[in-house]
Amino acid sequence: MGLLKRLFGASDRGTAPQLYAGIVARGRAPHWYTEGGVPDTIDGRFDMIAAILSLVLLRLEGEAEAKAPSTALAECFIDDMDGQLREIGIGDVVVGKHMGRMMGMVGGRLGAYRAGLAGEGLRAALVRNVYRGQAPADPALAHVETQLLALRDSLAATPTAAIIAGELPQ
């Protein structure tokens, strides 16, 4: 993939890299791993970044002006995960397989979080997708759910143009 970018040039992703950097920073915040009991592992960090990315993509979903920026944001995620896999020693032969699995995981999370936000609550989706089926103590689960719902509310109150401009609400 890197060779293709060098040969054909990377697409202009506008402010998506800035927004993605904010998502990664938010996903690496220590409170997820301390108060939230999310495993502080490669998988746990992936799960938190994917959860926050999902909330941002769900917020932008259906917004006509956000279609291209949402695609650019997803491309930033793909590039980051590709680089992370290579950094931990996954070889070229199997990177594509891992990337396909990761994208499927993000797609599944989008559906689970969409359903949870529509009424059934996030707890079941969090246990399945963030804690990988091993429910933490209730205060930890409540912390992650409360923080993600607060982010959802902040995103809802933020104008689409501001999010597209790369601004992730605090």
Which three-class secondary structure string do you get for 95-162?
Answer: HHHHHHHHHHHHHHHHHHHHHHHHHHCCHHHHHHHCCCCCCCCHHHHHHHHHHHHHHHHHHHHCCHHH
Calculate ∠ Cα 29-130-86, nearest 5°.
Answer: 75
- Residue 32 contacts by C-beta under 8 Å, 6 or more apart in sequence? 38, 44, 48, 144, 147
Position 85 scores a pLDDT of 65
Tokens representing residue 19 in the block: 């927004």
The answer to whether 160 and 66 have CB atoms below 8 angstroms apart is: yes
Position 86 scores a pLDDT of 61
Could you report the per-residue pLDDT of 8-18, keeping only the tens digit for each? 445 566 889 99
Could you report the per-residue pLDDT of 101-132, keeping only the tens digit for each? 766 677 889 999 999 999 878 999 999 999 99
Residue 6 has pLDDT above 50, yes or no: no
Residue 20 phi/psi, 5-degree rounding, is -65, -40
Question: What percent of the chain clears pLDDT 90, i.e. is strictly above it?
Answer: 65
Residue 162 has pLDDT above 60, yes or no: yes
Position 166 scores a pLDDT of 92
Position 120 scores a pLDDT of 78
Position 44 scores a pLDDT of 94
Could you report the per-residue pLDDT of 56-78, keeping only the tens digit for each? 999 999 899 999 999 999 889 88
Confidence at 163, pLDDT banded by 50, 70, 90: very high
pTM: 0.84
